């Protein structure tokens, strides 16, 4: 009997266990907000019920993480209740208390209340409590409290022997860099000590990240830190990966110091070759090489080395990663090679054999990356096989990867025109599948691109597009396709086959699509006379359309088709020139009085494509002058405003005439504007300090009738230093200039720029051009952090020069307009000078003449033809006073190898022409 009872109990228990899977899951942390707020009274109970409070905090955190919103009063009540839990010493409850305080986001007043408890934990003997309290402080501190406690409690924790405490303090410092950067910058010594002291721990990683945040606005200081750490070889893999990223970022910067190239590329190469390095380090080094290859390939598409180092080893490392047993390594290698295949497919093609097995990888993201890489590097023989494999897993990947696949397939179709049928079949199949509008748009654009560039595919591609618009739910895509059909259908052998699809849109769609269908049908009718009457009949159905625009369009099109010959009422006027270029030319002609009456020859204007390419090249050249440093993690620009101002001379913030006069009153008194007269000209800034100097100074010259004002634009790039009472002292040639006064800059703080002025009076007021070179030095009172008195100091600058070209503004003339203006001006005044130039080649002579004259080279004459012993250079500019000047310079070599020049200037003023031809005599 007992045995039977035991057997029955076992059967019942087994039956209950088997039913357990069928029971509905009940989340133990799910709850009602009002109930939870009532239960939170337990936080105020005495004694504290540890287990109950732990469950309540967990429920609060669950609700917060699920997006549940609490009112301000509710959050305040919960916060004050949680603060009571600091009375408990239970370690589990204490850690949950830290976590919930961070997520409740207390106000400044509330944070002040709990700060004392957290500081007490920071000074406790428990390393766990110390570290967690520091992490909470970084989330709740305001500026005032941070200034009070950061140095006292957090700075000392950086060098703590416990890695958890040290890392917590460093992460806290990273959070506080945006709030109190000046405080964190005082921790540099402790941070550098923790980088080397905590070898192998995550402290190195966090210390390096904080060091970068402090130094990223100091280019030279950052390069020094990176170079020193690269020599010391960090032990922590995460820190090494971060250092590799910083090194690659420094090498890719346009304004990099050539002295850092060799040690940094050697460090990255050593990380690539060292066998004892972690996999993540070698992969990061390979990834850095790939980024450098891509960066350098923009200048040389066939480059086979980076800074003198062969990068084939990097590709080998990535190829090995494709066969790794670790899914993350396979994914990382496939992603990096995919990035390289976009720019240098020939380098990745040797990895195709190892990449093909990844097409069946369980991770569909890895498989997709491998597939798109194969599509970019594959050959014509395996196109069909690859396309079939794509189809098998397109439904398993996200739309982001689908778009990448479509773009790769389009590239493959354009690369191998003979396989267009397979490509179009794949694209049309995906058009019928579910997907986002971005995915469908990319497919449509891929088909349109194939039809435009591969005439053999036009019929099949157009039919696929026609089938798609029969069931298209996106009006913008439908109108795009109809517009394309209107252009392409008339070029087909049987255009009537496509009319039915366009007509269906005219009677079945919304007003936007109906209007597009009417346009498309009319375009076909105008270009296909046999179909004209039939299409006119089809348009009749829309003459009573309930939409005004559709109805008006159809009536206009019907009348146009009925006239003899039919009027093309929808074709845009043919313009083979850029309207933007015409507008720019009109502006330039209006700015030059002598050109205002000249007719404009539109045949000389560039096409829209050529004009856009020209503007893009201009923007690229301008960006090259001032390349911002790039954050290697986020990819965002990190260049401070001071560096941007110091690097791009053409955009220096020189004072406007009104601002200039206001500032010069301090130097000359209220009579300054009257004494100086009209402001005639302002030059671009030129540097008078070296690029690596602690202070960047640029010279801007303001030209007046009898005076020259030198504006020195000072940028302070020295951290922790302020320049007070800053001015420039110059010693001009006594026979040419006299110093009338100096306007000082009261204060130039770190990362700021201010102008100081020197007013010079010409000794010979009758001469329009007065030049000279004068020694200059920057004088200032240097104040360091915490020092209110400071000490006087000075920095020697390069000579401040007033050159002949400073009296001329370059004039950009359209192509072909220079010689007509020359013929017009030389009838008024012309002057010629024959000179021997101190140059050893015609190329250097041309560049020197352009720089000395301060004018703009016209009609693409700035580049001499290689191998010739003579060159004709045309220059145009505006002399002070508004006089247009055109110069013709004949430059050549004589039998003795001397470079000679005949310079002829034409201007409405003979005196100005004589003055311009004398530039080389007055300016050397």
CATH number for position 677: 2.60.40.1480
Q: Are strands 830-837 and 707-716 parallel, antiparallel or unpaired?
A: unpaired
In a domain, 817, yes or no: yes
Tell me which of 770, 802, 834 is where a domain ends: 802
Q: Is residue 664 a part of any domain in this protein?
A: yes
Same domain, 829 and 851: yes
Instruction: Give 172: exposed, middle or buried? Use CB within 10 Å, 0-12, 13-18, 19+.
Output: buried
721 and 590 housed in the same domain: no
Rg (CA), the chain: 37
Per the CB < 8 A criterion, the answer to whether 715 and 752 are in contact is: yes
Can you read off the two tokens belonging to residue 573? Answer: 């006027």
Residue 354 CA to residue 357 CA, distance in Å, equals 6
345 belongs to a structural domain? no
CA atoms within 13 A on the CB side of 893: 15
According to DSSP, the residues that pair with 879 across neighbouring strands are 808, 883
Q: Which domain holds residue 611?
A: 579-619
526 inside domain: yes
pLDDT at position 659 = 62
The dihedrals phi and psi of 906, each to the nearest 5 degrees, come to -120, 135
Q: How far is 617 from 343, CA to CA, in rounded Å?
A: 20
* Same domain? 485 vs 546: yes
CB 182 within 8 A of CB 167: no
Q: Are residues 524 and 662 in the same domain?
A: no
* DSSP letters for 380-412: GGGHHHHHHHHHHHGGGS-HHHHHHHHHHHHHH
Would you give the DSSP letter of residue 153?
I
**Residue 585 and residue 557 in one domain:** no
CB burial readout 369-403, b (16+ within 10 A) else e: bbbbbbbbbbeeeebeebbebbeebbeebeeebbb
Say whether both 498 and 601 belong to one domain: no
What is the distance between the terminal CA atoms of the chain, rounded to a whole angstrom? Answer: 125
Establish if 598 belongs to a structural domain: yes
State the Cα–Cα distance between residues 143 and 155, nearest whole angstrom.
16
670 and 730 in a single domain? The answer is yes
Q: Which helix (H) or strand (E) holds 745?
A: strand 745-748
CA distance 735 to 564: 84
What CATH number has the domain bearing residue 811?
A: 3.30.310.10
DSSP character for 154? I
- Give the C-alpha separation, 410 to 408, whole Å: 5
Q: Which helix (H) or strand (E) holds 203?
A: helix 202-215
Q: What is the DSSP letter of 894?
A: -
587 in the same domain as 652: no
- Alpha carbon 26 to chain centroid distance? 49
Q: Are residues 691 and 593 in the same domain?
A: no
Would you tell me how many other CB atoms lie within 10 Å of the CB of residue 513?
Answer: 23
In the chain, how long is the greatest CA-to-CA distance? Answer: 134
- Helices 163-176, 127-140: axis angle to 10 degrees equals 10
| List of residues 6+ apart from 727 with CB closer than 8 A | 742, 743, 744, 745, 756, 778, 779, 780
Total-model pTM: 0.58
Quick one: tokens of 675?
């004494």
Whether the Cβ atoms of residue 422 and residue 461 lie closer than 8 Å to each other: no
Tell me the pLDDT of the chain averaged across its residues.
Answer: 81
Give Cα separations from 31 to 54, 56, 337 (angstroms): 15, 10, 49
The parts of the chain modelled with pLDDT lower than 50 are 625-653, 924
Residue 384 tokens, joined: 């069909």
Domain-embedded: residue 212 = no
Q: What gap in Å lies between CA 887 and CA 858, rounded to an integer?
A: 10
Rounded Cα distance between 539 and 521, Å, is 8
Q: Which ranges constitute the DSSP H helices of 432-527? A: 437-453, 458-469, 475-488, 496-508, 511-527
Distance of CA 20 to the CA centre of its chain: 56
Sheet holding 772-784, edge to edge: 745-748, 721-730, 772-784, 791-802
104 sits in which H/E element: helix 91-104
User: What is the Cα–Cα distance from 122 to 106, expressed in whole angstroms?
Assistant: 19
Distance of CA 264 to the CA centre of its chain: 24
User: What is the rounded CA–CA span in Å between residue 916 and residue 924?
Assistant: 13
d(CA 883, CA 908): 7
534-548 per-position pLDDT tens digit: 888 888 887 778 888
Claim to verify: residue 613 and residue 648 sit in the same structural domain: no
Report pLDDT for 549: 84
Cis status of the peptide bond prior to 565, with omega within 30 of 0:
yes
Q: Answer yes or no: do 480 and 431 share one domain.
A: yes
Report the distance separating Cα 331 and Cα 283, nearest Å: 11
Distance separating alpha carbons of residues 709 and 731, to the nearest angstrom: 14
pLDDT recorded at residue 41 = 83
The H-assigned helical ranges of 718-841 are 818-825
Domain final residue pick, 782, 802, 822: 802
Residue 292 covered by a domain: no
Would you call 587 exposed, middle or buried from its count of C-beta atoms within 10 A (0-12, 13-18, 19+)?
exposed
Specify the pLDDT at position 629. 40
- 773 and 745, same structural domain? yes
Examine residue 405 and state whether it is found in any structural domain, yes or no: yes
C-alpha span between 495 and 489 (Å, rounded): 5
Q: Nearest 10 degrees: CA dihedral of 248, 252, 255, 261?
A: 50
User: So what's the pLDDT on residue 50?
Assistant: 85
Whose tokens are 């694209």? That residue is: 427
Q: What is the pLDDT of residue 592?
A: 67
The CATH code of the domain that includes 429 is 1.25.10.10
Structural contact between residues 795 and 692, judged by C-beta atoms closer than 8 angstroms: no
The domain total for the chain is 4
> pLDDT, tens digit, for every residue of 709-731?
999 999 888 878 888 999 999 99
């Amino acid at each position: 009997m007992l045995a039977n009872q035991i057997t029955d109990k076992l059967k019942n228990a087994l039956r209950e266990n088997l039913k357990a899977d069928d029971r509905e899951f009940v989340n133990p942390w799910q709850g009602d907000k009002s109930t939870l707020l009532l239960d939170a009274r337990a936080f105020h109970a005495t004694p504290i019920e540890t287990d109950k409070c732990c469950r309540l905090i967990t429920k609060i955190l669950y609700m917060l993480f699920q997006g549940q919103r609490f009112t301000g009063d509710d959050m305040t009540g919960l916060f004050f209740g949680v603060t009571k839990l600091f009375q408990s010493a239970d370690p589990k409850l204490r850690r949950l208390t830290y976590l919930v305080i961070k997520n409740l986001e207390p106000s400044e007043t509330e944070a002040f209340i709990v700060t004392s408890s957290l500081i007490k934990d920071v000074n406790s003997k428990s390393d766990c409590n110390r570290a967690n309290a520091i992490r909470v402080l970084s989330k709740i501190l305001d500026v005032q409290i941070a200034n009070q406690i950061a140095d006292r409690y957090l700075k000392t924790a950086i060098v703590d022997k416990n890695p958890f405490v040290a890392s917590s303090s460093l992460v806290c410092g990273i959070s506080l860099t945006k709030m109190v950067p000046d405080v964190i910058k005082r921790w540099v010594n402790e941070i550098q000590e923790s980088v080397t002291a905590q070898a192998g721990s995550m402290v190195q990683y966090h210390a390096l990240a904080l060091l970068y945040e402090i130094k990223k606005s100091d280019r030279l200081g950052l390069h020094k830190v990176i170079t020193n750490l690269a020599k010391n070889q960090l032990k922590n893999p995460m820190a090494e990966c971060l250092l590799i990223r910083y090194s690659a970022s420094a090498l890719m910067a346009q304004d990099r110091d050539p002295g850092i190239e060799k040690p940094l590329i050697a460090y990255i190469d050593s990380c690539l070759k060292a066998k004892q390095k972690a996999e993540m380090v070698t992969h990061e080094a390979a990834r850095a090489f790939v980024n450098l290859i891509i960066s350098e390939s923009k200048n040389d598409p066939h480059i086979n080395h980076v800074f003198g180092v062969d990068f084939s080893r990097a590709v080998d490392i990535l190829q090995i990663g494709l066969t790794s047993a670790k899914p993350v390594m396979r994914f990382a290698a496939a992603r990096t090679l995919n990035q390289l295949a976009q720019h240098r497919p020939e380098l990745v093609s040797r990895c195709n054999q190892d990449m093909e097995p990844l097409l069946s990888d369980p991770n569909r993201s890895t498989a997709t990356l491998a597939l798109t890489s194969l599509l970019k590097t594959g050959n014509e023989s395996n196109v069909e096989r690859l396309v079939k494999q794509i189809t098998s897993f397109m439904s398993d990947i996200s739309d982001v990867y689908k778009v990448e696949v479509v773009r790769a397939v389009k590239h493959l179709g354009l690369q191998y025109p003979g396989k267009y049928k397979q490509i179009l079949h794949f694209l049309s199949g995906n058009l019928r599948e579910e997907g986002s509008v971005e995915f469908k748009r990319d497919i449509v654009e891929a088909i349109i691109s194939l039809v435009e560039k591969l005439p053999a595919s036009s019929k099949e591609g157009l039919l696929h597009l026609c089938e798609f618009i029969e069931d298209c739910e996106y009006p913008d895509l439908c109108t795009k396709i109809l517009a394309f059909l209107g252009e392409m259908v008339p070029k087909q052998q049987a255009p009537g086959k496509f009319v039915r699809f366009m007509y269906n849109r005219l009677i079945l769609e919304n007003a936007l699509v109906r209007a597009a269908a009417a346009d498309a049908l009319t375009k076909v009718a105008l270009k296909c006379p046999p179909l004209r009457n039939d299409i006119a009949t089809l348009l009749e159905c829309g003459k009573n359309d309930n939409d005004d625009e559709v109805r008006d369009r159809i009536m206009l099109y019907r009348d146009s088709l009925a006239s003899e010959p039919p009027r093309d009422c929808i074709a845009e006027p043919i313009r083979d020139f850029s309207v933007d270029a015409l507008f720019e030319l009109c502006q330039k002609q209006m700015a030059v009085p002598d050109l205002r009456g000249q007719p404009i020859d539109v045949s000389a204007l560039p096409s829209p494509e050529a004009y856009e390419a020209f503007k893009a090249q201009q923007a690229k050249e301008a960006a090259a002058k001032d390349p911002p440093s790039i954050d290697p993690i986020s990819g965002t620009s990190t260049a401070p405003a001071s560096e941007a101002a110091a690097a791009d001379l053409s955009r220096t913030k020189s004072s406007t005439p009104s601002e200039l006069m206001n500032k010069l009153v301090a130097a000359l008194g209220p009579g300054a504007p009257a004494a100086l007269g009209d402001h005639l000209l302002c030059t671009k800034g030129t540097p008078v300090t070296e690029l690596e100097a602690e202070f960047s100074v640029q010279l801007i010259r303001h030209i007046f009738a009898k005076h020259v004002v030198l504006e020195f634009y000072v940028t302070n790039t020295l951290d922790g230093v302020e320049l007070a009472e800053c001015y420039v002292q110059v010693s001009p040639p006594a026979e040419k200039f006299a110093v009338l006064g100096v306007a000082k800059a009261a204060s130039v703080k770190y990362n700021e720029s201010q102008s100081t002025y020197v007013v010079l009076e010409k000794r010979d007021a009758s001469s329009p051009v007065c030049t000279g070179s004068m020694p200059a030095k920057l004088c200032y009172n240097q104040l360091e952090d915490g020092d209110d008195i400071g000490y006087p100091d000075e920095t020697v600058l390069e000579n401040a020069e007033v050159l002949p070209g400073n009296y001329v503004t370059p004039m950009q003339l359209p192509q072909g307009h220079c010689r007509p203006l020359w013929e017009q001006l030389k009838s008024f005044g012309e002057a010629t000078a024959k000179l021997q130039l101190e140059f050893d080649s015609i190329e250097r002579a041309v560049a020197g003449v352009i720089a000395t004259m301060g004018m703009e080279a016209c009609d693409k004459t700035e580049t001499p033809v290689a191998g010739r012993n003579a060159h004709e250079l045309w220059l145009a500019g505006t002399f002070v006073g508004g006089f247009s000047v055109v110069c013709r310079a004949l430059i050549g070599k004589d039998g003795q190898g001397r470079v000679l020049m005949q310079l002829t200037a034409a201007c409405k003023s003979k005196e100005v022409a004589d003055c311009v031809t004398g530039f080389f005599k007055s300016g050397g």
